[in-house]
Structure 1
Amino acid sequence: MKPTDLTLNEQLRITTRELSKRKKAFNISEKSIQTLLEAKPIILAELDDIINDFYKELLNVEGVPEIIGDAESLHRLGNHVKFYIRTLLGGTYDMDYIQSRLRIGMVHKRIGVSPKLYFAAYKIFNKLIRSRLLTLGNTSSCESCLDRTDALENIILFDLALVSDTFILGLVNELNRSKEELEEYAHELERTVAIRTKQLAEQASRDGLTGLYNQRTFFDHLELEISRSHRRGDTFSICYFDLDNFKKANDTHGHKYGDEILINVATAMKQVLRKEDIAARYGGDEFCILFPDTQSGECRTICERLIEDFSKINSMNIVTMSIGLAEFSPETGLDADTLIKMADKAMYSSKKNPGHYITQYSDVVITSPDDEYDPTA
């Protein structure tokens, strides 16, 4: 619940019962109230002089002139104090009175009056009114004068306790706001750190030029896919390719042109690949693609579309793709390194043919023992 939903009485939990307790604590009885009412004409007759003397002393307290600010504000404050004195001696100390005193304290807190200055003002105020009661009251009865000053002091302390409560409430509210702001800042910082950490992790997993995954990240995905394949009994495929004539194009037209070719490859890959496929720049002009739950025949179809899209981006490009495909199934017992080597050998077989070419590892022509992979070995 917001503070604005409650009165100051409610915020400080001052009920009718609490009011009665406070009156008893400060000895504000019917007798003392009657004594204050008897003193009221004495004080009101001297009210202007009391106000003038009050501010004459108060303005000598360090920090007070700066808070008041100007003559107009001083005059306005004097009128407020006159009203305050009239209600102080009014004899009615109910919940409305409590609310008005709490509001006075809250206003002074908001304009920057410290408890030190507020208590100093009350000391001056109490002294001036006491002196009037003692010098202008019924001098034939010292006991009567003392009753009036005691009753006055009790009601002033009663008010001062209420004002102190509002200062404390203001500090508690400030503390709670600061705590909420600190918690919000901490949450925002956590969110920022989490986002930044994710961004840094993403950057660390990506190739800076093409935006594709890098070799290390591709290898991590490949090992995960092997584990999933063993659990589910699925078949998946990988594609390994590099760019023919890339060095020639790079040397002829410059590195910027070579970078454009690599970016075009990445663009074509992003256009044809599915959401679940993992594309990576494996190094230099070499690329890899992981096709989950895909047999090599389906993989070939996707690679044909890749060649087509790449060719459309720059039809004058002399660079072509030599692509090798390898298929994984759980019963083969292959590991990630061996699977990549198989796709790599299929890719080198493609290089024996001019232009774009795709070779599946199962179609590789074995010309030496080194070309052959025996899964049972």
Structure 2
Amino acid sequence: MIQSNGLFEFGQIELNERIEMLSLSSETHHQWKSKLSQSEEKLLRDNIYPALLSHFDQSDTLSLVVGHFAVHQAMEQYFDILFNQNLNQDYIDSMTKHALKLANHGVTLSLYSIIAFEFKRLIVNQFSAIVHCEKAIDLLNRRMQLDMMLVIDCLHHKELEDIKRYASLMDVKDSLTDLYTYNTFVDEMDRIIAHCQRTQSSALLLKVNIKDLSDINATHGYDAGNEILRAFAHSTQELIRKSDLLARGEDDNFFLIMPETCNNEAKLICERIIEDFEQHSELPATLRFGASSFDPKKRTSVEQMLFLANEHLDFARDRSKITDKHEVSVHFSNENNIIRLIK
């Protein structure tokens, strides 16, 4: 359930809640900066990192982490965010990139908690020595508290996702939808296609995408986006046969393989899925389908089927951007492949 920059679930709604909790606003969060001249701002930037290195020089672990060039670079980028970034989606993206860069260079949640506390203390202390204004000092303190909370959330979720990713090597079910994972799906698809080869029967593969799920998350919150994913999983699972296999792919994608089914049936199947999904989902959402099939005479491989389904999902996406409606694109090997408007 990772969303922002692939790192964690956080959007403008969640950010607004944090801003309100810390008594900040889009208009006030930068007011402390007006107390600094350009030369004082540069002095503050230049002095913090050497002071941070000096503070941790007795700890081999912390000194090694803080002294890494990439971590130094990440701290410099943070200053740009602190001094220049407005509190909007760009701010969220910048902070998650900052957190990811730290994580990729050995800064764990526990290490960050130690380093960030000292980093914040040094900045606030130096700012206080330059600016003798309690209101501005308090405002800077609260703004940096917001930044630290966001990075801590990112790193926490990153560590959880790393654990989940490791565990998923042995896990066959997606925790949100209770569908099979993609890795399990591919293994089962191999088995289904092998059966189709033996019985000289067909199989239909659908790759399904929910349009603009990130926008839904930003507008209504991530619980709403997750509910749409669950609604699609539940409604489709209720609709298909026991011999069919539905799985969740990455983020907002799903995969469905249907034995004894050919590509000529794809349009009708997609229409039924759409109709059932619209009845179960409380929020409107647009579905895009890419379809390919196994033909026993052509002996299409699993890899080819997945490639073709993904290719035709791209076609359906392109069409959906124009029509803003549900779309499906089906691969027909002996015909012109066309975008088929569903609804």
TM-score by length of 1: 0.42
Q: Which has the higher helix share?
A: 1
TM-score by length of 2: 0.46
Instruction: Specify which structure has the bigger relative contact order, considering alpha-carbon pairs within 8 angstroms and separated by 6 or more residues.
Output: 2
